[in-house]
Chains A and B, each alone.
Chain A
Amino acid sequence: MDNKVILTMRGISMTFPGVKALDNVDFTLRQGEIHALMGENGAGKSTLIKCLTGINAFEAGEIRVDGIDGPVVNHSTLDAQKKGISTVYQEVNLCPNLSVAENLFIGREPKTKLGTIDWREMTKRSEKIMKDLDMQVDVTQNLEEYSLALQQMIAIARAVDMDCKVLILDEPTSSLDDNEVMKLFTLMRQLKEKGVGIIFVTHFLEQVYEVCDRITVLRNGKLVGEYPIADLPRVKLVAAMMGKDFDDLASIKSEETPKFSDEDILIDAQGLSHKGKIKPFDLKIHKGEVVGLTGLLGSGRSELARVIYGADKNQTGTLQVNGKEEKINAPIDAMKLGMGLLPDDRKAEGIIGDLSVRENIILALQAKRGVFRLLPMSKQVEIADKYIDILQIKTASRETLIKQLSGGNQQKVILARWLATDPDFLILDEPTRGIDVGTKTEIQKLVLQLAGEGKSLIFISSEIEEMLRTCSKMAVLRDGEKVGEIVEDLSQETVMKAIAGGDGNE
Chain B
Amino acid sequence: MKNKKISSNTILLFITIALFVVMYAAGCIVYSAKGFSHLQTFLNILINNAGLLCVACGMTCVMLTGGIDISVGSLIAMDCMLLSVGMERWHMNAIALCVLVLVIGIVFGLVQGFCIGYLEIQPFIVTMAGMFFGRGMTAVICTDQVSISSNKLFVALANMKIPLPFGAYTSRRGIVQVPYIRISVVIALVVLVVIFLMLRYTKFGRNLYAVGGNETSATMMGLNVKKTKLKAYVLSSFLCSIGGICYCLNTMSGSVQQAKGLEMNAISSAVIGGTLLTGGVGNVIGSFFGVLINGTISTLVKTNGKLLSSWSNIAVAALLCFFIVLQSIFAKIKNSKN
Contact = CB atoms under 8 A, between A and B. Distances in A.
A206 interface: no
Interface stretch (A91-99, A338-346, A473-481, A487-495): A91-99
A116 B223 contact: no
B7 A142 contact: yes
Interface stretch (B138-146, B206-214, B265-273): B206-214
Nearest to B198: A116
Interface in A154-179: 158
A472 B338 CA distance: 43
A78 B222 contact: yes
Nearest to B212: A97
B220 A98 contact: no
Question: Contact size class for A?
Answer: 20 to 34
A107 B212 contact: no
Contact of A147 (B220, B223, B338): B338
Interface in A82-105: 87, 89, 92-98, 102-103
B332 interface: no
A97 B217 contact: no
Contacts of A142: 7
Contacts of A87: 220
Nearest to B334: A144
Contacts of B210: 95, 98, 102, 106
A138 interface: yes
Contacts of A119: 201
B222 A95 contact: no
Contacts of A94: 214, 217, 221
Contacts of A102: 206, 210
A226 interface: no
A31 interface: no
A476 B214 CA distance: 38
A116 B213 contact: no
Interface residues of B, number: 27
B334 A95 contact: no
Given A117-B201, A147-B338, A97 B221 contact: no
Contact of A106 (B200, B223, B338): B223
Q: What DSSP secondary structure best describes chain B's contact surface?
A: helix
B8 to A, nearest CB: 10
Interface in A128-158: 138, 141-142, 144-145, 147-148, 158
B222 A107 contact: yes
A92 B216 CA distance: 10
A122 to B, nearest CB: 10
B173 interface: no
B58 interface: no
B222 A81 contact: yes
Nearest to A118: B201
A77 interface: yes
B217 A95 contact: yes
Given A93-B216, A97-B213, A102-B206, A145 B221 contact: no
Contacts of B220: 77, 87, 89, 93
Nearest to B3: A138
A53 to B, nearest CB: 10
B34 interface: no
B103 to A, nearest CB: 26
B201 A98 contact: no
Contact of B209 (A93, A97, A107, A141): A97
B202 interface: yes
Interface string B262-285: 000000000000000000110000
Interface of A: 77-78, 81, 87, 89, 92-98, 102-103, 106-107, 109, 116-117, 119, 138, 141-142, 144-145, 147-148, 158
Q: Nearest 8 A-B pairs (CB), nearest first?
A: A95-B213, A116-B201, A97-B280, A97-B213, A93-B220, A78-B222, A93-B217, A95-B210
